[in-house]
């Protein structure tokens, strides 16, 4: 839920060593070069060691063995980042393979074309950095309230710049005929790009590789059976209930939700008052509107949750989950009040002593796992009267979905009148022609 107070667990994915509390010194020698530049696949950070790799063989959670890292061997085999090195953290965000993102999981280590047309291991074989162009360790991408760099313009081969946006390579009129010189259908398709993002049609479903988490109810966490923690597996091979985590829902091959998006996000920060109402509290949401020329209709994975909230101070609670017994950590003592008190103290925020659970939502933009062209959405996915994918999108006239009943009636009437007069005229001419004979 938050890094604060849970450092050593969360910072096991920090590209540094030893971030164990607020006082971490961001010195250059604490940088972890190897986690990104390892090419041997043997460098792994231990999940609870604040970013350190295991220097002795170590077992995580009583099950998983982490072998001691041979630092000299890894250091002697450094190179460019690979899908595997980025994936070591990014595939496993949310605490497991594919849990958080829905468009990034370990199938991208060597994906088939069906999963990712660009990373296709037997085809284009892109790495993450092919699109996430990097200059002096600054990696391109959307950064919180700042859109990904680069303009929506066509870049030529050899042109060095920011390639992270689809348009950087494909241009703003991306559909080109393969065999013919001209194809009128593509002209209409290209007319979509000012309002519809590439991702909308070309990422038709998400979680196409592995299941992703769709709902996480923390309020039920902490149940035991005969004094032992419970892990109940669901049909997708992911837990439906986990004593540490609560009730979880998973999905595969899911239909995204669509929103206007200008490439920036808004965040609700801990310490900012928020009223709990009927609708879920939006923690992280995309910005955009149909009036904004930089906004496009874009696909998202919504992630719903139920998490602790302070009803007196009206604050989202930063709970301490990870830590030893006596620290108040939920995963050691299974008491939300203690966890909230310890977490809010670490965050420097007030806590009333009351914990309620509120529904929340977090939107993830879907930009990865671009499907091959034959799997892109067809016209009727959106251009239908009812039940189309863009049924809830407002601010744009969508032919096929939208109509103006009165205008339609006027048009139909005019057509009928025209037909009537044409018929009269035609009949008259036939009669006159027959008379002339």
126-185 residues in contact with other proteins (CB under 8 A) are 126-127, 129-130, 135-139, 143-146, 150-151, 153-162, 168, 171-173
Per CB under 8 A, which of residues 374..433 are in contact with other proteins? Answer: none
Q: Return the structure tokens found at 152.
A: 């929506």
| Mask for 50-69, x = binds other proteins (CB under 8 A) | --xx-x-------------x
Q: Which of 41, 59, 68, 75 binds other proteins (CB under 8 A)?
A: 75
Nearer to other proteins, 131 or 297 (CB): 131
Query: For the purposes of burial, counting CB atoms within 10 Å of the CB of 132, is it exposed (0-12), middle (13-18) or buried (19 or more)?
Result: middle
d(CA 45, CA 64): 13
| Mask for 315-354, x = binds other proteins (CB under 8 A) | -x-x------------------------------------
Instruction: Tell me which stretch binds other proteins (CB under 8 A): 124-132, 191-199, 366-374, 384-392.
Output: 124-132
- Write down the least CB distance from residue 266 to other proteins, Å: 10
Nearer to other proteins, 86 or 382 (CB): 86
DSSP 354: -
- Write down the least CB distance from residue 386 to other proteins, Å: 32
Nearer to other proteins, 112 or 174 (CB): 174
Query: For the purposes of burial, counting CB atoms within 10 Å of the CB of 185, is it exposed (0-12), middle (13-18) or buried (19 or more)?
Result: exposed
Helices (H), 294-436: 330-333, 336-347, 405-436
Nearer to other proteins, 144 or 397 (CB): 144
Instruction: Tell me which stretch binds other proteins (CB under 8 A): 31-39, 202-210, 291-299, 373-381.
Output: 31-39
CA-closest candidate to residue 90, choices 105, 107, 79, 80: 105
Q: Return the structure tokens found at 310.
A: 């302070």
- Write down the least CB distance from residue 5 to other proteins, Å: 12
CA-closest candidate to residue 216, choices 192, 190, 197, 242: 242
d(CA 263, CA 315): 27
d(CA 370, CA 115): 7
d(CA 398, CA 379): 11
Nearer to other proteins, 182 or 397 (CB): 182
Residue ranges of E strands in 311-415: 315-316, 356-365
Nearer to other proteins, 41 or 411 (CB): 41
Nearer to other proteins, 77 or 192 (CB): 77
278, HSE (Cβ side, Cα atoms, 13 Å): 0
| Mask for 255-294, x = binds other proteins (CB under 8 A) | ------------xxxx------------xx----------
Per CB under 8 A, which of residues 4..23 are in contact with other proteins? Answer: 4, 10, 14-17
Radius of gyration of the chain (CA): 28
Nearer to other proteins, 135 or 412 (CB): 135
CA-closest candidate to residue 69, choices 96, 87, 49, 98: 49
| Mask for 212-241, x = binds other proteins (CB under 8 A) | -x--x-x-----------------------
- Write down the least CB distance from residue 128 to other proteins, Å: 12
Cα separation values, 205 from 238, 251, 254, 356, Å:
20, 11, 5, 34
Nearer to other proteins, 219 or 327 (CB): 219
d(CA 330, CA 351): 16
- Write down the least CB distance from residue 10 to other proteins, Å: 8
Q: What's CA 17's distance to the chain center, in Å? A: 27
Q: 3-state DSSP call for residue 337?
A: helix
Instruction: Tell me which stretch binds other proteins (CB under 8 A): 32-40, 196-204, 228-236, 379-387.
Output: 32-40
Cα separation values, 38 from 19, 42, 302, 383, Å:
21, 8, 33, 48
Rama region for 237: left / alpha / beta (φ>0; ψ in -120 to 50; rest): left
Instruction: Tell me which stretch binds other proteins (CB under 8 A): 2-10, 178-186, 285-293, 395-403.
Output: 2-10
Nearer to other proteins, 117 or 129 (CB): 129
| Mask for 288-317, x = binds other proteins (CB under 8 A) | ---------------xxxxx--------x-
């Amino acid at each position: 839920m938050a890094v604060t107070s849970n450092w050593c667990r969360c910072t096991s994915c920090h590209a540094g060593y030893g971030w164990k509390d607020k006082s971490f010194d961001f010195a250059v020698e604490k940088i972890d070069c190897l986690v990104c530049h390892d090419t041997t696949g043997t460098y792994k950070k231990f999940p609870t060691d604040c970013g350190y790799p295991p220097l002795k063989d170590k077992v995580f959670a009583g099950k998983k063995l982490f072998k001691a890292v041979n630092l000299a061997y890894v250091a002697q085999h450094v190179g460019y980042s690979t899908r595997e090195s980025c994936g070591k953290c990014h595939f496993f965000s949310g605490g497991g393979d594919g849990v958080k993102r829905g468009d990034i999981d370990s199938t991208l280590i060597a994906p088939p074309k069906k999963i990712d047309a660009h990373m296709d291991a037997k085809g284009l074989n892109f790495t993450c950095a092919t699109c996430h162009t990097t200059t002096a360790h600054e990696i391109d991408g959307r950064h919180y309230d700042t859109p990904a760099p680069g303009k929506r313009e066509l870049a030529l081969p050899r042109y060095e710049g920011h390639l992270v946006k689809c348009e950087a390579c494909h241009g703003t009129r991306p559909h080109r005929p393969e065999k013919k010189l001209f194809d009128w259908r593509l002209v209409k398709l290209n007319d979509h790009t000012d309002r519809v993002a590439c991702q909308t049609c070309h990422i038709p479903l998400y979680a196409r590789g592995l299941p992703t988490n769709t709902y996480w109810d923390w309020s039920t966490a902490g149940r035991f059976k005969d004094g032992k923690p419970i892990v109940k597996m669901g049909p997708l091979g992911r837990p439906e209930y986990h004593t540490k985590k609560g009730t979880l829902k998973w999905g595969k091959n899911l239909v995204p939700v669509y929103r206007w998006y200008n490439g920036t996000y808004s965040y609700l920060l801990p310490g900012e008052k928020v009223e709990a109402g009927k609708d879920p509290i939006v923690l992280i949401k995309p910005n955009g509107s149909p009036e904004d020329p930089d906004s496009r209709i874009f696909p998202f994975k919504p992630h719903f949750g139920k998490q602790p909230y302070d009803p007196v101070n009206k604050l989202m609670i930063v709970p301490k989950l990870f830590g030893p017994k006596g620290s108040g950590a939920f995963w050691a003592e299974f008491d939300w009040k203690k966890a909230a008190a310890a977490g809010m103290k670490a965050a420097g925020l007030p806590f009333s002593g009351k914990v309620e659970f509120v529904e929340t939502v977090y939107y993830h933009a879907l930009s990865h796992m671009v499907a091959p062209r034959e799997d892109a959405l067809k016209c009727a996915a959106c251009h239908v009267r009812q039940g189309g994918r863009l049924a809830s999108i407002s601010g744009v006239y969508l032919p096929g979905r939208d109509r103006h009943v009165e205008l339609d009636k006027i048009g139909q009437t005019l057509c009928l009148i025209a037909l009537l007069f044409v018929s009269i005229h035609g009949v008259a001419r036939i009669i006159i022609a027959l008379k002339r004979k």
